[in-house]
Amino acid sequence: MGIAKGVMAETVRFKRGPAGAASAPWLVPIAMSALMVIGGQAHAAEPPNLRDLLFGRHANDSSPSAGFPPVARYEGDNGAAFILDRTHGARALLQFDGDPEIWALTATPGPHGDIIYRNDLGQPMLRSTRLGGVTLFTPGRPSGMPAAFVGEGVAPRPPPVLGPDALFQLEVRAALRATRAAQHSVGFDTTHDFVTPDSEIVFAEAFIITAQAFVRVAQTTKPGQSAISHIMDVRFVTGPEPDAAVKGPVMLITVAPELGVAGRPSSGRLIAVLSRR
């Protein structure tokens, strides 16, 4: 493994393998119960199984008879707009307008046939009723706000990474952003022996979200600065499930490329880990 050299050599340590492979106002939603019915048609009887309970009888049907399309655009009563993509089985993807982060949520059954979409901290971000009503939970609205269906949406997708050099440059920029937030050099160390064109996007997402977490924690002034003042390195490794931990001066982030967008910790989880210091 070699140490990357260049303009950001002191900030980013980027290790190449033998193959030569080279964002958000919506932080940790507060779980509170709230519900708003905004329309749609209910089924005449209770769904006969868990799959129907979670995803409805027409989970993958975008026809008018299915009610709302599986990829839909919603807008909260405060103007916050987002895309909700429910085409991934028990997982859903959510992306707010103007925020590069894609939240990977897990659908779980709630009372009265509701579906609760939770982030990787287990906290609800959305509640959906069998009638089609959606409630959005944010730090500013801990009791939830109704979100109105606007129309069919475009499935959120992370921007493509165009090869090892582009991934390296993205890592450099993310490390520089974390360095500015921490007010001291923060190195990003990544072993890329196993990086493939398919997994580059997951690592790119991990770099961007990690930098975003540093910025958000730093914005909490003294408590935030204290939390990240001892972090000197961020190391990215692979594992079966995404994870994050702080051990002394090192933040260890586990990425699971086979899980796609859900294979890296969310900014909310990283903020929680950093703030526990």
Tokens coding 74: 């919603």
CB of 39 closer than 8 Å to CB of 131: yes
- The pLDDT assigned to 45 comes to 38
| Confidence tier at 52 by pLDDT (50, 70, 90) | very low
* Separation CA 108–CA 91 (nearest Å): 9
- The pLDDT assigned to 277 comes to 57
3-state secondary structure 137-198: EECCEEEEEEEEEEEECCCCCCCCCCCHHHHHHHHHHHHHHHHHHHCCCCEEEEECCCCCCC
For tokens 């703030």, the residue is: 275
Q: How many residues in the chain?
A: 277
| pTM of the shown model | 0.72
Q: Which of 108-122, 131-145, 185-199, 223-237 has the lowest mean pLDDT?
A: 185-199
CB of 253 closer than 8 Å to CB of 273: no
Where would I find the beta strands (DSSP E) of the chain?
Answer: 12-15, 71-76, 81-88, 91-96, 103-109, 115-118, 124-128, 134-138, 141-152, 187-191, 233-238, 243-247, 250-255
For tokens 């204290």, the residue is: 226
Where do the domains of the chain lie?
A: 12-22+163-275, 50-152
